[in-house]
Amino acid sequence: MGWDCPGAVQFTPEGRAEELHQRAAELTPLTEHDIADRLRILQDQPASWTTPGEHWSLGGQQEKFALTWLEDQWHEAGGSAATTHIIKPGIKVLHHQALVEHVTMRAAAATGVSVADSRLLPFEDQWAIVIDRFDRVTVFDKVFRLHQEDFCQALGRLPERKYESVGGPGLRDMADLVRKQLTDPEDGLRALADFLAVNLVAGAPDGHAKNISLILAPDGNRSIAPLYDLASGLTYDPEAVERTVALSIGGERIFSRIRGKQWRKAAGILKLDTDLLTQRVATMAEAFPGAFETALAEIADAPGTPEVAERTLPALRQHCSEVLARLDE
């Protein structure tokens, strides 16, 4: 593990760097059946994520694997090969979670947030979310790595501290980093504001500091990467009384306490114009339920779409109208 990581770093045990340099990309073509089998195995034995020839490594709690899409074909990436896509079957204990994640990301994109591209695809009877890696660029059948670091890495915090509630980075730490490190800090602060806003508007509980990254473009431009791992929680647990975002907004994480005052505080921390920020949140909250519905309609043939629509849309409409109303309080 470690020869193909998030970003452009590669890790190797001491003494094996030469092997890493010398081994070419070893790409093994996979059939749809092979991928379906990998998804099935993932369901049964989540520990066995990689096959022996693979060297990729990705963070995160959910089952996943990474493959390379090259010449209109999926490949297992061996040797020094870089993977181009992340494939996740969804969180097992939450019905149709991959579908919810895909639809949330598409809806966010439709409301103007920069989000990684994803598709929901069947491999035989196994459906999974397939996410384009924004830290890979394919040029004439060669895959190049771009460096990325998530906000825990960039701030030197361990993964155990990814949530602000357990001592992880807060908005102020993240904003300071953006101001110090990004080529266009203003643009970065607006992207950080979008991360706050879209997690609240989507009712997404997991926007922690490892779910947002910085990316270094080949021309040296440092910016916030497209968002990823964005999924509404409103589909699940309809009885939940106190829903929260992971990263506090103006000092509050509980949805019902995030009002105009908290957004004004957040604007102060981000040093963004208060009216522009609240207008952005309002526009997003107005558009999001419709965008979610449209994104669902685009995958109407996927199993679970009607249930997800039925469970999510009423809750989402209610939630977004509350987010809007609280902006004036």
Ligand X SMILES: Nc1ncnc2c1ncn2[C@@H]1O[C@H](COP(=O)(O)OP(=O)(O)OP(=O)(O)O)[C@@H](O)[C@H]1O
Between 83 and 278, whose beta carbon lies closer to ligand X?
83
> Residues interacting with ligand X, by CB under 6 A?
6, 58-62, 64, 86, 116, 131-135, 150, 206, 210-211, 228-229
Cα–Cα dist 285/283, whole Å: 6
Number of residues near Mg ion (by CB under 5 A): 3
Q: Tally the C-alpha atoms within 13 A of residue 272's C-alpha that lie toward its C-beta.
A: 28
- Which residue sits closest to ligand X, CB atoms considered? 60
Residue 149 is a binding residue for Mg ion (CB under 5 A): no
| Residue 79 binds: one of Mg ion, ligand X, none (C-beta under 5 to 8 A by kind) | none
On whether the CB atoms of residues 290 and 298 are closer than 8 A, the answer is no
Q: Is 259 helix (H, G, I), strand (E, B) or coil?
A: coil
Residue 97 is a binding residue for Mg ion (CB under 5 A): no
Residue 159 is a binding residue for Mg ion (CB under 5 A): no
Span interacting with Mg ion, options 34-42, 55-63, 132-140, 166-174, rule CB under 5 A: 55-63
Q: Which of 308, 296, 298, 294 is nearest to 235 (CA)?
A: 308
CB of 87 to ligand X, least distance (A): 10
Residue 251 is a binding residue for Mg ion (CB under 5 A): no
Between 149 and 229, whose beta carbon lies closer to Mg ion?
229
Q: Is 172 helix (H, G, I), strand (E, B) or coil?
A: helix
Residue 211 is a binding residue for Mg ion (CB under 5 A): yes
| Residue 37 binds: one of Mg ion, ligand X, none (C-beta under 5 to 8 A by kind) | none
Between 228 and 292, whose beta carbon lies closer to ligand X?
228
CB of 64 to Mg ion, least distance (A): 9
CB of 39 to Mg ion, least distance (A): 19
Cα–Cα dist 208/147, whole Å: 20
Between 46 and 306, whose beta carbon lies closer to ligand X?
46
Between 86 and 175, whose beta carbon lies closer to ligand X?
86
| Residue 65 binds: one of Mg ion, ligand X, none (C-beta under 5 to 8 A by kind) | none
- Neighbouring residues of 93: CB distance < 8 A, sequence distance ≥ 6: none
Between 42 and 272, whose beta carbon lies closer to ligand X?
42
| Residue 61 binds: one of Mg ion, ligand X, none (C-beta under 5 to 8 A by kind) | ligand X
DSSP-assigned letter for residue 12: -
